[in-house]
Amino acid sequence: MTAALDTYAEALESSGQPELSWPSYREALALTREIHTIPWQALVLYHYGRSLRVAGEVDRAVTAWREAYDLFLWVGDPTADTVRDLLAELDRQP
């Protein structure tokens, strides 16, 4: 179910209106937290952050990515490096 929600949200995001994806990302996050699937939670947060950034919601994107980064580190997922780089890029922007 989480994978389907995440994939659906990504499809909505690619429509050019990322805001349409947010309810699906939030629903996927709630599910991952309820059933304690940390790797999926990290992935959904990563995708959600991307969608937020595209929409100009940079502060909210950073919050999502920081949480994703911590979770990716915790499970030893190399995606943590990608998220770290995204956060560093945002830190360098004025």
- Residues 51 and 18 sit within 8 Å (Cβ to Cβ): yes
The average pLDDT across 22-33 equals: 93
Spatial CA neighbour of 55 closest among 91, 20, 6: 20
Spatial CA neighbour of 82 closest among 23, 33, 42: 42
Q: Which pTM does this prediction carry?
A: 0.91
Question: Which three-class secondary structure state does DSSP give residue 35?
Answer: helix
Going from the N-terminus, what domains does the chain have, and what CATH number goes with each?
2-92 (1.25.40.10)
Evaluate if residue 24 carries a pLDDT over 80: yes
Out of 4-13, 30-39, 70-79, least confident range: 4-13
